[in-house]
Amino acid sequence: MGKHMGNIPLSKQVYSLHLAFVRKINDVHIFVQQAIPLLNEARDKYEASKHEKDRRYYVPTIGRTKFARRTDQELKNIYERFIENELYENFIVTAVSLFESLLFDVLRLVIYSYPQKLTLNVQGIQVDRTVPIEVLLQSNTLESALEEVIRKRINSISYAMPKAYLEYLNNVAGITISDPVFPDYIEIKATRDVIIHNARIINEIYIQKAGDKSRGKINEKLIMDLDYFNHCIATLKRVSGIIQRDIKQNFPEK
């Protein structure tokens, strides 16, 4: 079973995923580039405002219409927050999610094309080598049973530490994870986790994950600025390119 999706070669399927990812991630960067000047302009307008009273702003609420009240200076502060940090935070989270979707789609395609790779394992990822009886009973064909087993495998891998699932990617697909860009990716993923779970404040978990690439000390706030955002976009594109390149080399068209 060396091909999937209408007998399209694996390398071409992964190439299409890579191109789609790069386009999406470039779109994110273009949007941010275009948005920042507009946000600066709005911030400057509120900063120069002499209006001191609250204005009403619609905010969604279940069951009724509600408005929040803010002064123009408070609006200026909101814009500054997003311009300086929060815009980058949100789009870094988005970028990492897009990349993870690509990575796990690649794993799914490789394993579907070469089911024997289901037997491979790495430290940090538990592999169930048995097929639950309910999967067999609920599947009309061997193919649908295989798809469900792969779905469960990818789901379990997605909860592993980045070092573990990258090692799994290396074992399954022969991806060159020794490239210096991969520690940068692991730090970016650790940053994403701190954004979501610890309000950008560095903790022991971040230090453990990021290792030598750590960008601060415990209890410091991670810097989120344009330079780091650019670094994230470039790094994720580079890793995607390595995956696409190695898939093409390791799984040539037949």
pLDDT at 138 (0 to 100): 65
- In the chain, how long is the greatest CA-to-CA distance? 71
In a domain, 75, yes or no: no
The reported pLDDT for the residue numbered 1 is 42
Q: Evaluate whether residue 43 is within a structural domain.
A: yes
- In this prediction, residue 2 carries a pLDDT of 43
Whether 214 is in a domain gets the answer: yes
Q: How far is the C-alpha of 136 from the C-alpha of 150, rounded, in Å?
A: 13
Residue 78 in domain? no
Cα 125 to Cα 159: distance, rounded to the nearest angstrom? 9
Evaluate whether residue 60 is within a structural domain: no
Nearest to 22 by CA among 204, 249, 245: 245
- Domains in the chain: how many in total? 1
Question: DSSP character for 115?
Answer: G
- One-letter amino acid at 18 equals H
User: 3-class DSSP state for residue 55?
Assistant: strand
C-alpha atoms less than 13 angstroms from C-alpha of 131 in its C-beta half-sphere: 16
The verdict on residue 107 lying in a domain is yes
| pLDDT of res. 140 | 61
Which pLDDT belongs to residue 149? Answer: 80
Cα 232 → chain centroid: 10
From the list 241, 199, 237, 242, the residue with the least C-alpha distance to 220 is 199
Mean pLDDT, the chain cut into blocks of 10 residues (254 residues total): 66 98 98 98 98 97 96 98 97 98 96 88 66 60 75 87 94 96 98 97 97 97 97 99 98 86
Stated pTM of the model: 0.89
Phi-psi region of 111 (alpha: psi -120 to 50; beta: other; left: phi over 0): alpha
Give the residue numbers spanning the domain of 150.
Answer: 10-50+83-248
pLDDT of residue 131: 57
Q: How many Cβ atoms sit within 10 Å of the Cβ of residue 124? A: 14
- Asked whether residue 37 is assigned to any structural domain, the reply reads yes
In the prediction, which pLDDT does 253 show? 84
Asked if residue 58 is part of any domain, the answer here is no
